[in-house]
Amino acid sequence: MFERFSRSWSLIKASAGVLSKDKELLVFPLLSSICTVIVAVAFILPALGMGSLDGLKEGGAGVSVGMYVLTFLFYLAQYFVIFFFNTALVGAAMIRLDGGDPTVGDGLRIAGRKIVPILGYAAIAATVGMILRSLQERAGFLGKIVVSMIGVAWTVASFLVVPVLVSRDIGPIDAVKESAALLKKTWGENLIGQGGVGVVFGLIYVAMVLLGIAVIVLAAMTGNGVLIGTAVAVMVVAFVLVALIHAALAGIYSAALYRYAMGEASSTGFDGQMLQQAFRLK
């Protein structure tokens, strides 16, 4: 466990080193978050106004075909936004890892050239998401575990799809196949590094929650409304900032891993041995 934590921390530090040179990479997850909220509001408010969610009040009974279509379109729009800005992030990170000095405009231009495959990949992800959600709602306890495992397998198989789309002129289906093949060929199916990075940030989030509760309680004990509001605002901003950093580091990490999988011995800020140790063969 300690070895895994240590290795993951090294990967985070290497990714953070890249991010420190291009802090503008944080703009992409920020724009993604803003746009996903806008998309959610654009879908949820009309659905509430038209009473499209009424069928969900009794455990899903009476859900219309139109509701399923609306849900799929919502998934599609959300995934498209997420993948678009993730593509921009990974594209800009690729430039930095290759020794360049990317800008926000560079990342957006890369994503703009990939709109069609991004939309196709979003449609695939939306379909997979709908199927998994439908199976989970109908499955028993053991069934839910199996569906969750399938979801993890999909996440692993598609881990390098965005870097593939950035680097290759291929469609989304071929990108998913190549992502799965690269992972299986190079590291097997045991994704140690990605899980470790998640563990590290999970611990950070838990520590922030505990610290935030303590700070807010202490502020509440003063009875000062301004102080309480300030404490809450600071914690919200802190969580948003950490989430943006987490997303940016994940994008940088995936870009570096893809370059390594494609034969690049090292990338700026990373070395081959570090990347190789991020995964273990079966």
Centroid of chain to Cα 36:
12
CA–CA gap between residue 264 and residue 271 (Å, rounded): 10
pLDDT of residue 31: 95
Instruction: Return phi, psi of residue 22, to 5°.
Output: -135, 70
CA–CA gap between residue 100 and residue 180 (Å, rounded): 28
Q: Burial level of 198, CB count in 10 A (0-12/13-18/19+)?
A: middle
pLDDT tens digits for the chain (282 residues)?
556 556 666 777 888 888 888 889 999 999 999 999 999 888 887 766 655 555 544 444 445 677 778 888 999 999 999 999 999 999 999 998 888 889 999 999 999 999 999 999 999 999 998 888 888 777 777 777 888 888 888 887 888 899 999 999 999 999 999 988 887 765 543 355 566 667 778 888 999 999 989 998 998 888 888 888 988 899 999 999 999 998 898 888 888 888 877 877 667 777 666 666 655 544
Report helix, strand or coil for 140: coil
CA–CA gap between residue 211 and residue 218 (Å, rounded): 11
Token pair 């998401």 is at which residue? 129
Quote the radius of gyration of the chain (alpha carbons, Å).
Answer: 21
pLDDT of residue 49: 60
Which sign, positive or negative, has the C-alpha torsion 93, 99, 102, 107? negative
Cβ atoms < 10 Å from Cβ of 69: 10
Written in H, E and C, the secondary structure of the chain is CHHHHHHHHHHHHHHHHHHHHCHHHHHHHHHHHHHHHHHHHHHHHHHHHCCCCHHHCCCCCCCCHHHHHHHHHHHHHHHHHHHHHHHHHHHHHHHHHCCCCCCHHHHHHHHHHCHHHHHHHHHHHHHHHHHHHHHHHHCCHHHHHHHHHHHHHHHHHCCCHHHHHHHCCCCHHHHHHHHHHHHHHHCCCCCHHHHHHHHHHHHHHHHHHHHHHHHHHHHHHHCCHHHHHHHHHHHHHHHHHHHHHHHHHHHHHHHHHHHHHCCCCCCCCCCHHHHHHCCCCC
pLDDT of residue 95: 92
pLDDT of residue 255: 87
**Amino acid in position 279:** F
Tokens of 247: 């997303």
Q: Quick check: 104 and 24 in contact, CB under 8 A?
A: yes
pLDDT of residue 189: 36
CA–CA gap between residue 202 and residue 193 (Å, rounded): 14
